Chain A
Amino acid sequence: MKGSMLIDGQRVDFNGEKHILEVIRKAGIDLPTFCYHSELSIYGACRMCMVEDKWGGIMASCSTVPKDGMEIYTNTQKLKKHRKMILELILANHDRDCTVCEKTGRCILQELAIRFGIKKVRFDKDEKELPVDNSSVSIVRNPNKCILCGDCVRMCNEVQGVGALDFAYRGAKMQVTTAFNRPISNVNCVNCGQCRTVCPTGALVIKRDIDNAWEVLNDKNKFVIAQIAPAVRVAIGEEFGLEPGSVTMGKIVAALRRMGFNQVYDTSMAADLTVMEESREFAGCLQKGERLPLFTSCCPAWFKYAEQKFPELMEQVSTCLSPQQMFGAVIKEHFKTDREAEGRETVVISIMPCTAKKYEAARPENRNSGTRDVDMVITTQELAMMIKENGIMFNELEEEAVDMPFGLSSGAGVLFGASGGVAEAVLRHLCSDKTIGSLKNLAFAGTRGMEGVKEAEIELDGRKVTIAVVHGLKNAEALVKMIKAGEKQYDFVEVMACPGGCIGGAGQPVPQSAHIKKQRTKGIYNADSGSTIKRSEENPTIIALYEGILKDKHELLHRHELNKES
């Protein structure tokens, strides 16, 4: 619908906006909300976005359709009184230990309480303390801080199609919880952590590994190696006031060295290994005409989702380990003899945009070296907190290069950070045409972009190969169902659980709007453009590895149970 309306006396045109909240924000007024997220359905529960019409009627702007000639007021005394009352009521039942809360400084409830000048809560707390769920390695759920906005519930159901969380009980006893209040590690939660990206308070936060990291970094008997995932470099700058999408790899390396890491590497190197292995596997499948479509395996949330929901499909999920785990396995193998001689233990800490990587690193099969291949996973946000804790002025840091001998990586490896990147990197490798023109063709083949499901068709050695790229597990579920029903046929399917791919991971700084994700994606493609090595097979580190430790140890790079069959 098209028209114009008066907002606080100012004439504002609208054209197709679904509700007046959008129109109001377009007019430059930041109306507060808890339960509104543009990517989720309208819920209308928090009542913070209430507006008044010219007759004094009050309505929730998020669930009111704009009409031509409307006259809306957003900040009358009556509305302010209501907003304050709502905040006070929410705070009455809220754990108000702000200083020790993981979310302090990023909490929307705290922010709005400050904005509306709530200085006193007149009501007593009468609810009992509920137990904090610490069972997951990825997220912590504290129901005492939940304000029942339902954002996590809708994220988990509508975007991810998982449904690990829902409302339970009713009235004053209502809670957001898992089925039968089971520990979240014991239900169908896939650890993607998207719930925590929309949670306005500290009810859902990243499981903190910062203190464990400081401990090993300060232990002289440990040789600590960092690997930095592609998506981290385009997002961490946001924590320090830089534009989303700014590529800050060199600064991250410098910061990690100052924090005490002995060596710093780029996970993109291991992504190159993944490209080599996955391409070979895919070419084999194409040749034999079996296990098609082949699904990618680098996203641990998708992997767990597939295990739970489509166990029969696991045969078609690539046997390749994710870049994180390939890196861990290779590094531990490489440094084994050196460190044993020194009597020091190698510790691999990965810096990831992802909460599910914490879970992946902890999976019992990912222990080639007897201990965990990746000892610890620190998310982008945690790394930013560590940098701040040590008082390192991130923006002032001189850029530094990663270490050798595993320091080289290709632009293809960096692409892994965005949806479509794994598919594009594999195609770059498989395409026999190695000209710049071919690179450009691949970039425009259809794997890039923010649409939930993307399709591409490429000619490889005279054979037409069809590819699907999907992000968001709900989209993945729909796609798999279509494939199983025979409605769609593909040869290769890339799945990333988080909307936008790893750049939109739950370990990244929040908030993550569509605009921010777009900027980060742009950053990934900029990083690729700036790299001198474009294809994984041209990476000298990879060539050396295949001639060296991987010569007779290929199994290091694959999932074990399936590996035996091939």
Chain B
Amino acid sequence: MLDKSKYPEVDGILAGYAYNRSALIAMLQEIQSAYNYLPEEVLEHISTEIDIPLSKIFSVATFYENFSLEPKGKYIIKICDGTACHVKKSIPILDTIKKELGLNSSKHTTDDFLFTLETVSCLGACGLAPVILVNGKVYAKMTPESALAVIKEIKENESK
């Protein structure tokens, strides 16, 4: 059974789509924006409520890059590694952030759940390359140093 005190929004989201199974992807998107990821027990709940096998929901959730089955940090850093950003040296920025936050290719979120680091293929802002995006805010023409400064600023704000 789903712990409704932990996930109060879930039933409202499902009701918003009239428990229609063809709206699965839209439901998952709303769940993800509410909780930052797709919690396993919520997916089980959806499976019984809208009568879709759990394996099918898992199939959809693992197919789309945008869905995450793991909890994400409060700040999601998206670093662009599209062609323009790559040529403008996005990889050294990525490496610096990874090192600073203690992350690697299989670990994307810090232990304190403050940061999640993702690479994306293009943010459509090639003129500003290399670009990073922190919770939707664009930081243009980054260098490893300026990226560190952004992280430092967030950390300082958080510890206040």
List A residues at the B interface (Cβ < 8 Å). Answer: 157, 162-170, 177-180, 187-188
- In B45-88, the 8 Å CB interface with A consists of 47, 52-59, 62-63, 69
A179–B54 CA distance with the chains assembled, in angstroms? 6
Cβ of A531 to closest chain B Cβ, rounded Å: 42
Q: Is the CB of B53 within 8 A of A164?
A: yes
Q: Which residues of B contact A166 (CB under 8 A)?
A: 53, 55-56, 58-59
Is residue B9 contacting chain A, with contact meaning CB distance below 8 A?
no
A198–B63 CA distance with the chains assembled, in angstroms? 25
9 contacts between A and B (CB under 8 A): A163-B52, A163-B54, A163-B56, A167-B63, A168-B58, A170-B62, A179-B55, A179-B57, A180-B40
A170–B52 CA distance with the chains assembled, in angstroms? 20
A511–B18 CA distance with the chains assembled, in angstroms? 43
List the A residue with the shortest CB-CB distance to B53: A163
Q: Is the CB of A179 within 8 A of B58?
A: yes
Cβ of B65 to closest chain A Cβ, rounded Å: 8
Using A169-B63, A170-B63 as known contacts, say yes or no to A180 and B58 having CB atoms under 8 A apart: yes
Cβ of B40 to closest chain A Cβ, rounded Å: 6
Tally of chain B residues near chain A (CB < 8 A)? 14
Q: Which residues of A contact B69 (CB under 8 A)?
A: 180
List B residues at the A interface (Cβ < 8 Å). Answer: 40, 43, 47, 52-59, 62-63, 69
A169–B61 CA distance with the chains assembled, in angstroms? 8
Cβ of B33 to closest chain A Cβ, rounded Å: 21
Closest 7 CB pairs of A and B: A163-B53, A179-B54, A166-B55, A166-B59, A179-B58, A179-B55, A168-B62
Q: Is the CB of B53 within 8 A of A188?
A: yes
- Give the interface centre of B40, B47, B56, B62 by most chain A CB atoms within 10 Å: B62
Q: Which residues of B contact A165 (CB under 8 A)?
A: 55
Q: Which residues of B contact A188 (CB under 8 A)?
A: 53-54
Cβ of A515 to closest chain B Cβ, rounded Å: 31
Q: Is the CB of A187 within 8 A of B54?
A: yes
A271–B74 CA distance with the chains assembled, in angstroms? 63
List the A residue with the shortest CB-CB distance to B58: A179
A142–B101 CA distance with the chains assembled, in angstroms? 38
Q: Is the CB of B55 within 8 A of A178?
A: yes
Q: Which residues of B contact A162 (CB under 8 A)?
A: 53
A179–B47 CA distance with the chains assembled, in angstroms? 11
Q: Which residues of B contact A170 (CB under 8 A)?
A: 62-63
Q: Is the CB of A164 within 8 A of B63?
A: no
Cβ of A172 to closest chain B Cβ, rounded Å: 13
Quick one: which of B43, B53, B59 contacts A167, CB cutoff 8 A?
B59
- Give the interface centre of A162, A179, A187 by most chain B CB atoms within 10 Å: A179
A165–B55 CA distance with the chains assembled, in angstroms? 6
Cβ of B48 to closest chain A Cβ, rounded Å: 10
Cβ of B62 to closest chain A Cβ, rounded Å: 5
List the A residue with the shortest CB-CB distance to B59: A166
Q: Which residues of B contact A179 (CB under 8 A)?
A: 43, 47, 53-55, 57-58
Q: Which residues of A contact B58 (CB under 8 A)?
A: 166, 168, 177-180
Q: Which residues of A contact B55 (CB under 8 A)?
A: 163-166, 168, 177-179, 187
Q: Which residues of A contact B40 (CB under 8 A)?
A: 180
List the A residue with the shortest CB-CB distance to B44: A179
Q: Which residues of B contact A177 (CB under 8 A)?
A: 55, 58
Q: Is the CB of A157 within 8 A of B62?
A: no
Further 15 A-B residue pairs, CB within 8 A, beyond A179-B43, A179-B53, A180-B58: A157-B53, A157-B56, A162-B53, A163-B53, A163-B54, A163-B55, A166-B55, A169-B62, A170-B62, A170-B63, A179-B54, A179-B57, A180-B40, A187-B54, A188-B53
A169–B55 CA distance with the chains assembled, in angstroms? 12
A163–B53 CA distance with the chains assembled, in angstroms? 5
A188–B57 CA distance with the chains assembled, in angstroms? 14
A437–B56 CA distance with the chains assembled, in angstroms? 51
List the B residue with the shortest CB-CB distance to A161: B53
A190–B22 CA distance with the chains assembled, in angstroms? 26
Cβ of A455 to closest chain B Cβ, rounded Å: 26
Q: Which residues of B contact A157 (CB under 8 A)?
A: 53, 56
List the A residue with the shortest CB-CB distance to B47: A179
A170–B66 CA distance with the chains assembled, in angstroms? 13
List the B residue with the shortest CB-CB distance to A162: B53
A180–B56 CA distance with the chains assembled, in angstroms? 10
A179–B53 CA distance with the chains assembled, in angstroms? 9
Cβ of A120 to closest chain B Cβ, rounded Å: 34
Q: Which residues of A contact B54 (CB under 8 A)?
A: 163, 179-180, 187-188
Cβ of A173 to closest chain B Cβ, rounded Å: 9
A188–B59 CA distance with the chains assembled, in angstroms? 16
A177–B59 CA distance with the chains assembled, in angstroms? 9
List the A residue with the shortest CB-CB distance to B69: A180
